Structure 1
Amino acid sequence: SEDALDGNTSLIKKKAEHVKKVVPAYIGVEAILALQPDLVIVQENHNKAFIDALKDTGLKVMVTKVPTNLDMVQKRIALIARAVGEEERGKQIINDMDKKLAVVQSKVGKIPEEKRKIAIAYSLMGAFGSKNGLFHDICIRSGLRNGAAIAGLKRGEHLSKEKIVSTDPDLFIFPRYSATKKGDVDKLREDVLNDQSLQTVKAVKNKSYFIIADRYRYSASQYMADAILFMSEQAYPELYSDVNAGK
């Protein structure tokens, strides 16, 4: 898809460049049928009428659940691998993920819960990360405590400044990219760090934050392991000095 070629959000840009056929991110049933695919993989959160229309064409359609945790991500990888006759490659992908996760666990596994850093992540819409979302699991597995979940943020709601102050996060996580207009992400970061109502928060007082690419914030593929490793390294750089020595 066109999105796969977007270097700001895609994790497969280089591989996608070798694929001759490019389709829009939002493609209709007729256009999909014209490609004569052997298999169509679609998430269950797609419009039901769209999914039904695909099935009515006689195409082989596999509907997958929307992952909200690591276990669901790995089960989906195994499911897709089996569907395309590549079970061994699927197992290898999961094994590669587990190796990265083991590195993270070796670094942060012994940190007591109460001593783990509290992080609050921002998008241009505000703080996000409800406890039922994928980002929450990424946080927890990185060795962090998800401030938005601690504050009781629910999906679709906004986190008030009062809740942010009471949660007192150790660090903020800001986005690297904005699809709207250039400079939005820089302004967001400056606005948060200079907000007078947040000056008592540890993350603001210590200017403690890091920037994460969108492709990691919402990674529901094998790259979730890379997202977990990246966030853990950013939050606890002192624990990864040996890992990063050769970089």
Structure 2
Amino acid sequence: MNKNIRFLICLMILFCVCITGCGPLVSYNESSHTPHTRYVDSYDGVRVAVPENPKRILALSSAFDTILLGLVEPDRLVGINKLSTYEDYSLEAKRAKQVKPVMSSYPLEKIIALKPDLVIAPDYTSADVISGLRHMGIATVVVSSDSTVEGVIKNIKDVAYIVGEEEKGQFYDQKIHRELDEMKRLGASIPLEQRKTVLFVSSMDGYTGTGSLFDDMCKYMSIYNAPNKIGLPPRIPFGEERVLVMNPDFIFIPSYKGMDKGLADRYLANPAFQNLPVIKEHRVKPLPAAYLYTMNQHIGEAMLAIMHTVYPQLERSSHE
């Protein structure tokens, strides 16, 4: 009996030691392990700790607003660029209108006041703003503003990874590449000598010139970008003499909230252009500004829409 009692006492002591020994170990793991944080590589070379599932996201440009609205619900954004709420400027305008406040600029104080848990900044954001946000402990990731179609696809996947929506990023990657394959198929039916020359203008002179995103888009759409075709260097304004030399088959005017009348009048009402076939044959057309500023998941459908506008026979052949 005494042996049994001594044995039970020893078991109880051993059990207590095990419990007290395990206590600090569990506490240590809980305090040192951060399951809700992961690290991403920012474009500026900094490795940034970001929330695993960010709930208060702010993008510092309308381009990234549109990408985010295709990845997360609007209630996860703490602010939206004013341009993103305009119909025709953003193909996610309806969802953008659900986000408040609406912003037209991003001063550091205003960003901090929104208390974001994640900020996504384009690479042209002021270094002072980036460092100020990080100093305040706000996870801030810089993303490249690439001027190629493949660069846009990469940006979509990068932003998807940053916000923990990799599957959606992969979905858009596959979607856009299917659309690129469709453009390649359609383009094969257009002989080189029948390919059209397009001038897509912008209120930012030279924005659509040689080396621009639109210039790269043209390669997929089987059209010639007018500034590139005449060898105009990047970021050069399209003056009267240059437009006369370009002699484009189409001039597209980006529109949102109606056609940009001031921009349109530079061509439609300019006496210097009245003898151009593009003017006389009414081939100066408004297109949604979203098609021009399409650094997002809608780039494939935008290119297909432009392609069908330039080559209406493609629309007819698809229904035969």
Which range, TM-score by smaller chain?
Answer: 0.7 to 0.9
* CA–CA separation in structure 1 for the residues paired with 2:256 and 2:97: 21
Say whether residues 1:16 and 2:96 are aligned partners: yes
Q: Residue 121 of structure 1 contacts residue 128 of structure 1 at CA under 8 Å; is this kept in 2?
A: no
1:5 aligns with 2:93: no
**Within 2, Cα distance between the matches of 1:188 and 1:60?**
40
C-alpha spacing 1:164/1:75, structure 2 compared with 1 (3 Å)? same
Given the alignment of the two structures, is residue 97 of structure 1 paired with residue 176 of structure 2, yes or no?
A: yes
Counterpart of 1:123 in 2: which secondary structure? Answer: coil
Q: 1:47 to 1:114 in 2, by over 3 A?
A: farther
Partner of 1:27: 106
Q: Are 2:279 and 1:204 aligned?
A: yes
In the alignment, which of 200, 206, 220 is matched to residue 121 of structure 1? 200
Q: Over residues 191-232 of structure 1, what are the superposed CA-to-partner deviations in whole Å (9 max), with x where a residue is unaligned?
A: 523534334433123222321111221111111112211110
Please give the alpha-carbon distance, in whole angstroms, between the structure 1 residues aligned to 2:199 and 2:176. Answer: 25
Question: Is it true that 1:136 corresponds to 2:211 in the alignment?
Answer: no
Q: Which of 232, 235, 240 is equivalent to 2:315?
A: 240
SS in 1 for 2:103: coil
Secondary structure at the counterpart of residue 241 of structure 1: helix
- Structure 1 unaligned spans of 5+: none
Q: What SS does the corresponding residue of 1:212 show, helix, strand or coil?
A: strand
Q: Are 1:135 and 1:217, in contact at CA under 8 Å, matched by a contact in 2? A: yes
Once the two structures are superposed, the pairs formed by residues 219-230 of structure 1 within 5 Å of their partners are 219-230=294-305
1:213 correspondence with 2:288: yes
CA distance in 2, matches of 1:127, 1:115: 26
Q: Taking every aligned residue pair, what percent have the same amino acid on both sides?
A: 26
Q: Specify which structure has the bigger relative contact order, considering alpha-carbon pairs within 8 angstroms and separated by 6 or more residues.
A: 1
Measure how far apart 1:110 and its partner are.
4.0
Preserved contact between residue 129 and residue 149 of structure 1 (Cα < 8 Å): no
- Over aligned residues, Cα RMSD in angstroms? 2.5
2:204 and 2:140 map into 1 onto residues whose CA distance is 34
Aligned to 1:146: 225
Matched, 1:86 2:161: no
TM-score by length of 1: 0.84
**Candidates 117, 121, 128, aligned match of 1:38:** 117
Distance 2:247 2:163 in 1: 47
Q: Mind listing any 5+ residue stretches in structure 2 that lack a counterpart?
A: 1-79
How far does residue 126 in structure 1 lie from its aligned partner after superposition? 5.5
8 Å contact from structure 1 (residues 139, 145) kept in 2: yes
Q: Which letter does structure 2 place at the counterpart of 1:232?
A: M
Deviation digits for residues 149-192 of structure 1, max 9, x if unmatched? Answer: 223334443223222222221111112237xxx87x33543552
* Distance in 1 of aligned mates of 2:307 and 2:148: 17
What amino acid is aligned across from residue 169 of structure 1 in structure 2? P
Q: Which has the larger radius of gyration?
A: 2
* AA partner of residue 291 (structure 2): Y
Counterparts of 1:125 and 1:87, CA distance in 2: 34
CA contact (8 A) 1:120 1:169 kept: yes
8 Å CA contact 2:81–2:102 kept in 1: the answer is yes
Name the aligned partner's letter for residue 132 of structure 1.
G
* Mapped contact 1:119–1:146 kept (Cα < 8 A): yes
Determine the structure 1 residue equivalent to 2:35.
Answer: none
